[in-house]
A and B are shown apart, each in its own frame.
Chain A
Amino acid sequence: MKFGVVRFPGSNCDQDAYYVLRDVFGKQVDYIWHQERDVKGYDCIVLPGGFSYGDYLRTGAIARFSPVMEAVIAHAQKGKFLIGICNGFQVLCESHLLPGALVRNTGLKFVCRHVYLRVENASTPWTNSAKVGQVLRIPVAHGEGRYVAEPETLQKLNETGRILFRYCDDKGNISEAGNPNGSMEGIAGIANESFNVLGMMPHPERASEKMLQSADGKVIFDSIIKTLLLQ
């Protein structure tokens, strides 16, 4: 089982994703340079958080055109696993691997704090170690994390169980107060149709050790590791 963490110029959570996979989960993991055109050896690829290419123009908009993304898209189209966290989620939307877009937070300011997520679907490769309705405490850190999509898209996401996480309060209630960025329907993370691609704004890699004040994010890595083991 081998993980790859893509490094775009300006990625800054690449090392966090690398450490969590290597040190907390004891998995084999490599960095993948943005000019790489071959990603064949990897079972699961992580598009990490950060400010790829400075996020000039629009978040994730330039990264989409980087050489590595062509290979990453092919990897996803083959049904292999791909997770985009924060800026990685933005890149996934820009690349049309996931529907919708991430725009400026309603508060107009960058927001970094712990939030609560409710697991909406526990029968996916990314959540099979969690329970539906489970509340996870995981931090967000973004200026442009407000998920928006057309009504038809939202309907389709809902109908097909592709909304994996919603922002909620500490009791699991979906509320405006629990939503840090104004995302539609409190959406924090979604999957593609075949569930091999996950995009989420919160950072599970920042919440996988108790000493970082929460280990709730582990369940996402545990799930994908289980999925890969059972493959």
Chain B
Amino acid sequence: MINPDIYREMGLSDTEYQQIVGILGREPTETELGMYAVMWSEHCGYKYSRPILALFKNYREAQEKGALENAGVIPLNDRLGIVFKMESHNHPSAVEPFQGAATGVGGILRDIFTMGARPIANLNSLRFGEIEGGDECARNRFLFEHVVDGIQHYGNCVGVPTVAGEVMFHKSYAGNPLVNAMAVGVVDLDGIASAAAHGLGNPVLYVGSSTGKDGIHGATFASVELGPDSENRRPNVQMGDPFMEKLLIEATLEALATGDVVGIQDMGAAGLTCSTCETATKGGTGMRIDVSKVPQRETGMTPYEVMLSESQERMLAICRKGTEERVASIFRKWELNAVVVGEVTDDGIVHVWNGDKLAAEIPAKSLTDDCPTYQLETAEPEYIRTVQAFDPLSVPEPADYNAALEMLLASPTIASKEWVTHQYDSMVQTQTALGPGDGDAAVLRIRETQMGIALKTDGNGRYCYLDPFVGGQIAVAEAARNVVCVGARPVAVTDCLNFANPEKPSNFWQFKRAVEGIANATEIFGTPVVSGNVSFYNETPDGPIHPTPVIGMLGILDDVNRCCGAGFEEEGEVLVLLRAGNDSCGGLGGSEYLSRIHGIEAGKPPMIDLEAEKRLHSCLLEAIADRLIVSAHDCSDGGLSVCLAESCFYKNLGAVALIRSDKLGGLQASAILFGEEQSRILVSLRNERHLKRIESIADKYGVQALWVGSVGGDHLRITLDGKDLINSPVSQLQAIWRNAIANIMTREN
């Protein structure tokens, strides 16, 4: 009888252990127990989230058809498709930020090229604790600096540009940063690789780096809360080698092009265990492997260690019988290991041999499809009523609007992210038409077509904290809006759902409500969730993170040359606010302004009318297609004033905005300047002549087109009902915004 402490330590409950004994009809071996523990973790098995994820229509249908592949494929034309996926690497990054972030990038890239797609872009969505402050923030700065370093190290070396993302700072992420990596690839539609092990007797090839003792039980580590002993989890963190990954990309794509590989899967979470049992399950077959044949970094590794290692840059490839030598030679040409370690069987069992000793004998399906799922309890947290009862309009007006704007521009969440993005190679592969800071989303051209794709990630933890349903809706709406601002049609979504311990009903309620919000918005926009990842247990003894679903949006441009940036281009351009939202507080609830200037995180998040939002998208896309628009920028964090300022900074141009409050619900100045009302886009037109045309397009879609002012001079001047509220030199505002993060990071370290 196995000591219960052993399986409990691995994260299995007593009931789950009994289930395993039931499946096997005997006590499991140590290796088998480890394999179940890791595959039945939330990270691999989605045992808590699966029932909720069924709210995503695409996910549900794919699950029913048994077609949950590594990543979704979105057709671009009749020949090419786009694959994209996002994944978290939060816990590894909390204890070992450089490697944690680096291997996050590596892992998500492998998900892309295992499908036969060439990776063309990386994005990442990052959250850290506050970085402005003394020693109490030193750890947050350390994590921020080293996560960025890990991403640049891996992404730059592997030659995939990092083109977009977001970074936000909030105290709830102290000690538990969020590191969500997204990768995008382009694939020949008739060359999509399968992850199924087909064909009795087909050889199973192990390729890539050799196996070490790193990352053992990494997936299990991702499925517990962080605590004081998390530092001891550093051996659970994987070590990455981007040079190996670069070789693996080229070798894999070359091998897949031969047609000799019937199935392939990367070894990510749960390593060999996951890749063997999942490919066998998908193929409806079994698999026999011999761990003694696996290339190993050190001698004396046990089958348990080999099966659970999460060493990076490894793949499992199933070849047509007789072609294994040819396939292996491709990998060897790229100086990578390629060894036959087993073969496909037809008994539905994964047999793990260690030489002539049997180490594990498990029905493949019992590790994957038969992972127990649970309907967890939900309960609305008590704080919700209190925070929502707060009236954001009751807050006093600031004494000086210029000073308030400057404080917002200096907020690390709003400030320029150049300190980060200049460390990333955003241009390699020469496909980046709009890179970081150029537009509301990144735009990449697709070679040998006229087309382009637009990419953006979005997610606002504060909104989700105040109302996870609305926060989920807004995450989708804002990501879609950003993609529309560069002139692309939003087409599909990947998501990364970062939440706290789901076993606490209040946390699970947040999760369920956010997923409902996302499901609702993605259905209305016709942008299905095609791939994604759930990350639970993001909490420390200091408390849970803000619920933070992050949306990765893919948009398509039929003509990439028509893409539209976010900055004013020339003096004399005419400013128009396209508005389809209508929030009674002007979007002050949950705003950066309330938090930063008044230290308040309360109110309802901005209301969102998704149908109106959709009309706004159609309106702008038509105006861009009519070549009316020079620049388009979403009004989001910091509201209209920050939006105007950011568009000025691009070419250091001034602007005058003359606003009438009666056109904006008669609200107080702070709400108009800093409120984050949704469904608003600031556009600039070449000249006055285009004003009539944009008004008539807006009219057609039921969108308000509000003349705001024009581009010119060297000041940003905003007046409300004839009164100057903001009047500052653009160069001064720009310096604050551009240098804020660099100043913090050089001053404090």
Q: Hey, which bits of chain A sit against chain B, CB under 8 A?
A: 9-10, 12-13, 15-16, 19-20, 49-51, 53-56, 109-113, 139, 141, 143, 203, 205-206, 209, 211-213
- Shortest CB distance B265–A (Å): 24
Q: A20: nearest residue on chain B (CB-CB)?
A: B430
Contact B423 A10 (CB under 8 A): no
* B591 to A: closest C-beta gap in Å: 31
In the complex formed, the residue of B with least CB distance to A17 is: B430
A9-B335, A111-B422 given as contacts; is B157 within 8 A of A51 (CB)?
yes
Chain B residues with CB under 8 Å of A113's CB are 422
Instruction: Say which residue of B423, B426, B427, B433 sits within 8 Å of A203 (CB atoms).
Output: B427
Pairwise interchain contact B447-A53, C-beta atoms closer than 8 A: no
B335:A112 contact, CB within 8 angstroms: no
* 11 interchain pairs, CB-CB under 8 A: A10-B246, A13-B428, A15-B429, A19-B430, A55-B157, A56-B243, A109-B152, A111-B422, A112-B426, A141-B156, A211-B561
Assuming A13-B428, A112-B423, what are 20 further A-B pairs, CB within 8 angstroms?
Answer: A9-B246, A9-B334, A12-B428, A13-B159, A16-B429, A50-B159, A51-B157, A51-B243, A51-B246, A54-B157, A54-B241, A56-B243, A109-B423, A110-B152, A110-B423, A111-B423, A112-B426, A141-B156, A205-B430, A206-B428
Residue of A nearest to B157 (CB): A51
- Is B560 an interface residue when CB atoms closer than 8 A count as contact? yes
Contact of A19 with B423 in the complex, beta carbons under 8 Å: no
Is the beta-carbon distance between B560 and A211 smaller than 8 angstroms?
A: yes
Interface residues of B in 537-585 (CB under 8 A from A): 560-561
Residues in chain A near residue B334, CB distance under 8 A: 9
Give the contacting residue for A211; candidates B244, B421, B433; CB below 8 A: B433
B430 touches A16 (CB 8 A): yes
Residues of A near B335 (CB, < 8 A) are: 9
- In the complex, A20→B431 CA distance in Å? 11
- Please tell me if B432 contacts chain A, counting CB pairs below 8 Å: yes
B462 within 8 A of A: no
- In the bound assembly, the distance between CA atoms of A206 and B428 in angstroms comes to 8
Closest to A54 in B: B243
Q: How far is the CA of A53 from the CA of B247 in the complex (A)?
A: 10
CB distance from B242 to the nearest CB of A (A): 8
Given the complex, which residues of B lie within 8 Å of A112, measured CB to CB? Answer: 156, 421-427
Closest 7 CB pairs of A and B: A12-B159, A54-B243, A16-B430, A141-B425, A51-B157, A112-B425, A110-B423
- Given the complex of chains A and B, what is the CA–CA distance between A10 and B158 in angstroms? 7
B445 within 8 A of A: yes
Which residue of the partner chain A has the closest CB to B418? A113
| Interface residues of chain A: helix, strand, loop or mixed (majority) | mixed
B445 adjacent to A211 (CB under 8 Å): yes
Q: How far is the CA of A50 from the CA of B422 in the complex (A)?
A: 17
Q: Which residues of B contact A141 (CB under 8 A)?
A: 156, 425, 427-428
A169 to chain B minimum Cβ distance, whole angstroms, is: 14
- What residues of chain B lie closer than 8 Å to A211, measured between beta carbons? 433, 445, 560-561
A9 to B247, CA, bound (A): 7
| Smallest Cβ-Cβ distance to A210: which chain B residue | B561
Which residues of chain B have C-beta atoms less than 8 A from A55's C-beta?
Answer: 157, 243
How many angstroms between the C-alpha atoms of A53 and B244 in the bound complex?
A: 9
Closest-by-CB residue of A relative to B159 is A12
- Which B residues between 485 and 539 are near A, CB-CB below 8 angstroms? none
Task: Please report the C-alpha to C-alpha distance between residue A139 and residue B425 in the assembled complex, in whole angstroms.
Answer: 10
Minimal Cβ-Cβ distance residue in A for B448: A23
C-alpha spacing A20/B447, complex, angstroms: 12
Contact of B433 among A9, A205, A212 (CB under 8 A): A212
**Assuming the A-B contacts A10-B157, A54-B243, are A110 and B430 also in contact, with contact meaning beta carbons closer than 8 angstroms in the complex?**
no
Q: Mark B420-453, 1 if CB is under 8 A from A, else 0.
A: 0111111111101100001000000101000000
> In the complex, what's the smallest C-beta–C-beta distance from B336 to chain A, in angstroms?
10
B430→A206 contact, CB < 8 A: yes
Alpha-carbon separation in the docked complex, A141 to B427 (Å): 8
Please name all residues of chain A whose beta carbon is closer than 8 Å to the beta carbon of B159 when the two chains form the complex.
12-13, 50
Complex Cα distance A109/B158, Å?
A: 17
User: What sequence of 0s and 1s flags, for each residue 169-180 of chain B, a beta carbon within 8 Å of any chain A beta carbon?
Assistant: 000000000000
CB-nearest residue of chain A to B561 = A211
Min distance, Cβ B55 to any Cβ of chain A, angstroms: 40
Within 8 A of A (CB), among B189-245: 241-244
**Which residue of chain A lies nearest to B160 when distances are taken between CB atoms in the complex?**
A12
> Which chain A residues border B244 with CB–CB below 8 Å?
54
Query: B438 contacts which chain A residues (CB < 8 A)?
Result: 213
Which residues of chain B from 129 to 186 have a CB within 8 Å of any chain A CB?
Answer: 152, 156-159
Are the CB atoms of A12 and B423 closer together than 8 Å? no
In the bound assembly, the distance between CA atoms of A173 and B157 in angstroms comes to 32
Beta-carbon contacts under 8 Å, B229-271 to A = 241-244, 246-247
Interface string of B73-89 (1 = CB under 8 A from A): 00000000000000000
Across the interface, B247 reaches (CB within 8 A) one of A10, A15, A143, A203, namely A10
Return the chain A residue nearest B244 by Cβ.
Answer: A54
Contacts of A213 in B (CB 8 A): 433, 438
